[in-house]
Structure 1
Amino acid sequence: MITYREQYWLSIADLREGRSQSREDRVALYRARSEVTRAIDRLALATADPALRTPASAAVWSAIELADIPLGPVTDGRFADEVEAALAERRERSRNAHTVLRNAATVYIQQLSRGARRD
């Protein structure tokens, strides 16, 4: 998920700087998204616990939905104001969802180490 977000924001930076997205850039973004899918699949095989799976799903979708923002043209290194606002809002939402997931994973692992959870 982190790699996907990184690739996405690199592509946004490139667009703001007037560079078009290359095939290699698209491949890197798609590959990173595939890694997100593999990670969520591994989690699904490892646990059915909603205390971990729910925040994981929210974090995954908050990252993947970044690509749903219609970007439009860039002028003077910026997208239209509403696009910039949407990018900022979704960036914050994605960061927050990742923090919630990290905290849930910490609790989950601590409980596992104490033998409190058994799936």
Structure 2
Amino acid sequence: MSLKHIVVSILFVFFSIYIAFLNPHESTFHLTQNQTFKLPTVILLLAAVFTGVMISVAILWTFNLKNSFSRWKIDLQKSRVEKKHSRLEGFYKKAKNLFLCGRLDKASTVLDKVLNA
């Protein structure tokens, strides 16, 4: 946690304490027609901030999840291409070695595999 976040959190706590001393009375929160809560104003303020933070985090995680699937797909495609290139490079080296050894028939079949891929 950076110093900036710590300072902002401390300022928010002091602001909440200040609001608590200015508003000692309770506020009524109606959840439904029959269900009401009488809570201090500071608790309602903290609950509203906490709810906002949780919604923001949920939205952020949703977008990061979408981006992670995109990155995963791109990485999978790159790994397939790299695997294919390494396999073809192995065939090419094998064909080159066979050619240098004088086994031209086997070298040509291996080179055909490289060219057809």
Assess same fold via TM > 0.5: no
TM-score, normalization by structure 2 = 0.33
Name the structure, 1 or 2, with higher relative contact order (CA <8 Å, separation 6+): 1
Q: Which protein has the larger Cα radius of gyration, Structure 1 or Structure 2?
A: 2
Which one has the bigger strand percentage? 2
